[in-house]
Structure formats: C-alpha cells, structure tokens
Amino acid sequence: MKTKRLLAVFLALMMVFAIAAPAALAAEIIPITSDQSVIIAMVTTSTATIRPVNPATIGYNNITYSVDSASSTAYGTVTNDRGTVAYGGINYPNIPIGTVTGLTSGNLVIVAKIGDLEVGRTSVTVRSVLGSGSTTISAGSTLLTYGQSTQLTSSKGYPITACSSNWPADFTVTNTGLVTCMIPVGKVGYADITAYDSAGNVGTIRLFGGSFPNNTVSAPKSNININESLQLFLNGYPDHCGSSNPAVATVTDGGMVKGVSNGTATIYCINSVSGTIGQFTVTVGIGGLPGGTGQVSLLKNSIAVGETTIINGAGMTIVTSFSSNSTVASTNGITVTGVSAGTTTITYVTNTGATGQLPITVTAGSSGTTDPNLPKPTKSYSVSAGGYKTFKYSNTSVKEAWSANPSVVSASLVTGSDGYKQARFTGLSAGTTTVYMKTASGSVSAMTIVVSAGDVTGRTGKISSGDDDLRVSVRKGAGSNYGRRATLSNGTKVTIKGESGVYYEITFVSSGKTYSGYVKKAFIAFN
C-alpha cells in the first residue's frame, strides 16, 4: 500500500513537470532585434525585419510577432514569415521573422510570443514624411561601372532609412542607401533613386552607369553665372541628362543647365534617338571673364527711376561699389537705385580684390517712378531681424521669390501643408526693402518689408530720413491717417517704447519737455 502511494505521488509530480516545463521554457526571455530602428510611414520600401538575435535559443518553438497596441504610440502591421538568419558565422534557415510596416508616426512596440506567452519584445520608430521635408541626396560618385557601389547621404545629416530605384535591374539599392551598378560592361544607363532619411525628409538623385566619353557634348560656353542657363547639344537635343553635383548646377532631361552655386559639375547626357552619349563639365560662378564680369552680375541691368536692383556677388562679398554717373544711378553697398533716365556703369570691388564693371540702363518708367514690368508694393509688413513672413497664392505654387535688397531681407521657397510652394522672406538686418514673388504664369506680387533690429524696447535710436533736408513726421497714432504731433530732423535722439506694425512708439525731448508719438521704423537708425 505504501509503495502504491509513493508511485501515485511520483506520477503526479511527473505530470506537473510535464506540463510546467514547456511553459517555463516558453516564458524565458529571448532577445529580439530589428534590422531597422526607423521606418517611414506609408512607404512600401521602408520596412523593418524582426528576428531573434540568436536563432539557436528558440529551438523548435514557433515564434509569432505582433504589435502591442497598448504600449505603442504609432499604428502599424506585422507580417509573419520565415527566413534565414545569420548568427555567429552560421546561417540558420527557416527561422520565424516578422516584417513591420508603419501606418502613422510614433513608436511601435513589437512583441514575440510562443503560443500565448510573451518571450521578447523590441521597438521601431515610425516617421511620417514631413510637409516641407525635402532634402538633397548626394552620392560618393554619380557615375558607376559594373559592380561598383556608392553610398547615398542626406543633406539634412540624418541617416538614410528607405530607398527605391526606378530601374532596380540596372541599379540595386539597400534601405540604408548603398547603391550598386549592375549595368554590363559596354553598355550605359541611368536610374533615379528616391531616398528617405530617418527624419522623413525625401529626395531623389540620378545615377549613371557605364562609360561616357567627354568630347561629344557641345555648348556655346563652359562658364556660367549663378541663375544663368546653358543649353547642351548631343547630336541635337539630348533626352536624358543628370548632374554630378545638383547643388552647383541642375539640368533638365533636354540638356538645359542652370547655375546654382560656385563650383564645377559634370553633366551626363544620353540621346536615345541617335544612340549617342557623353559628358560635359560646366563651371558656375568662378573662372569667368577677365575682371570678374563672368562672376558678378546685376539682378536686373535695366531699372526704372526709383527702382532698385542688386549686385549678385556669386558667392563673394561686394566690399564697395560706385556709379560712373550718380545722377543716373546711385549705389549703396550691393544696392543700385535708379535716379534719372540714362545709362551708367557700376564698378564693384570684391573681398578677393577683384573688380569689374556692370553697365545699367535707367528708364523713366510709368509716371517716372515705377518700373513698368514690376508692380508697386501693395502692402507693408514688419518683421524683426531673424523673423520671417510667409506668403502664398491660392491653389498655385510660387515659382520665384526675390528681394530688392538681400542684405536686409532674404528670399526662399518653402512647401506649405497644402503641397504648394510659398515665398518666405526672412529679416536679416534693420531696414526697408521691396520683395517680390511670381507664379509660373508670370504674375508678380510686390510687398514692402520693414525689418526692425529685434527687440529694441528701451533702446535709443536716432532719426534717419536718408536726406539731410527731409524732416520726419511724428504721428499721434500708428498710421499716416493720424494727425502730426511734430516733425524731427535727422540725428534727433529718440527712445523706443514699443512697436505697432511698421511704426515705433517713441519718446523724444524738445525744449526740456518729453513728448511721445509714432514714427515709421524705416526712419529710425540704431548705432
């Protein structure tokens, strides 16, 4: 009887261990990893592969992967599959893996389970493509031979995390941006590679493969200025072109090159109709004509009386400039202003010591005051140095934006949340200038931007009208419709109490008494 009881206890213990042992094994933590720490939402080429770090630890157990929605701040999906996993120099076939796709931005927590028991977890960050998230994608080399690889990088400094090639048979690319040329020897081709960085910025770069001779492409010249265009020819017009350095020069498929910044770029061209190929080196902004006239130019070489244009230094600093006839046009740094109808020559000196001469024509314009090709400013806006104003058109993009005086206000294009390009004008230094923006159809809008020197409350300034004989009105309110409280001559000291649009609220002393009023910011100078 005693023996039977012992046997029953033994069998009971065996049953407990038989049930508990697999559960205990399954509950052990198995390190799980992901080949991508960041993926891009809704981009089919941007996925992360989840797998055990050491495949030997799972034995014959079947792991399944899923999103822990309670712990995640993003939405995503996991597709379970099997694949080969390398560890310790050994390839383990038929190992459970999971492919993660992001749907919204945030953090995805992925859990690994054997049956219903969790055995490990890892996380993946999901980024969304930013509304203004464009970036310039660069490559170590834009011309590759068979089997040669190059690494892509983002100008924003973030690592590449997703890529796609429109010709994967000719150019393969990994999600981290390693591109390999597969074009056979003796043939040529190209591919456009789209790459996303880990912040969601996206850009495209065109890479070429094969051997491109350098003596078949022709052009009227090889040196151009910034913003100047140049047509290339290759037994007629090419139909596929790319630039080795788009930051220096861009090119259309039809071979139209445009200078962007100082430097040199190699342009690769294909004429698929004639079956010809070639390359061409263009120099932008440097190595131009004697005297610097191939480097420096006027934004406009014909202006109206009262209108301004600027000297484009092509990356160099214009130290000084002067007019051969100041009664026709006057200069102030890089700004040239039309005074009366006629012609004159603007001489400039750069920080490198280079000099040059730029002819300019001044016309009477409409009513003798306005360039007939550009509208008058419609409104006036105020920003502080370092601040900006952004303007847009309805349901169309801004094609170009520029400032009459870039030393006061700089102009750039940004992409709005609606996908259209907008004009952004950033205040750089105290002053007043006119800014312009243009649509693709050629319609131009003009505004006045007044830049204040940041927070100047409490600072002392002085009246500066730009004309010793011109006195400045002090208004009772912030607007020309308010009555005049006083008129102040140049050099009169004032104290800033506050700002209101394009006006400063000031105090000034006259005959021992303190008065207050409003003066346009454009008439106040600070030391």
**Each residue's pLDDT tens digit in the chain (527 positions)?**
545 554 444 444 444 444 333 333 444 588 999 988 888 888 777 889 999 999 988 877 889 999 999 999 989 999 999 999 999 889 999 999 999 998 888 899 999 999 889 999 999 988 876 545 688 888 888 888 899 999 999 888 888 888 888 888 899 998 889 999 999 887 888 898 988 888 888 888 889 888 888 778 888 788 887 788 888 898 888 988 989 888 888 999 899 999 888 778 899 999 888 888 899 988 886 533 333 334 577 777 777 777 778 787 665 677 778 888 888 888 877 878 888 878 888 887 776 556 677 888 887 653 333 445 678 888 888 887 767 889 998 888 888 887 877 767 877 788 887 888 888 888 777 778 888 888 877 788 889 988 877 677 888 888 876 555 667 889 998 887 788 888 888 889 999 888 877 788 999 998 888 999 998 877 777 76
Q: Residue 16 phi/psi, 5° resolution?
A: -60, -50
Helix (H) or strand (E) holding 77: strand 76-87
Bridge-partner residues for 95, per DSSP? 83
The CA distance from 313 to 513, in Å, is 49
At residue 314, the pLDDT reads 60
User: Would you give the distance in Å from CA 29 to the centre of its chain?
Assistant: 45
Q: Which residues contact 232 (CB under 8 A, 6 or more apart)?
A: 217, 218, 219, 238, 241, 251, 255, 256, 257, 267, 269, 280
pLDDT of residue 17: 40
Q: What is the pTM of this model?
A: 0.42
Token pair for 178: 């390693």
**Residue ranges with strand state E in 228-379:** 229-231, 240-243, 249-251, 256-259, 263-271, 276-284, 297-298, 302-304, 308-312, 318-323, 329-332, 335-338, 342-350, 355-363
Q: pLDDT value at position 366?
A: 39
**What span, in angstroms and rounded, lies between the C-alpha atoms of 223 and 149?**
31
Instruction: Identify the burial level of 294 via C-beta atoms within 10 angstroms of its C-beta, where 0-12 means exposed, 13-18 middle and 19 or more buried.
Output: buried
pLDDT for the residue 26? 41
- How many Cα neighbours within 13 Å face the side chain of 113? 12
pLDDT of residue 287: 38
Decide the pairing of beta strands 63-67 and 302-304. unpaired
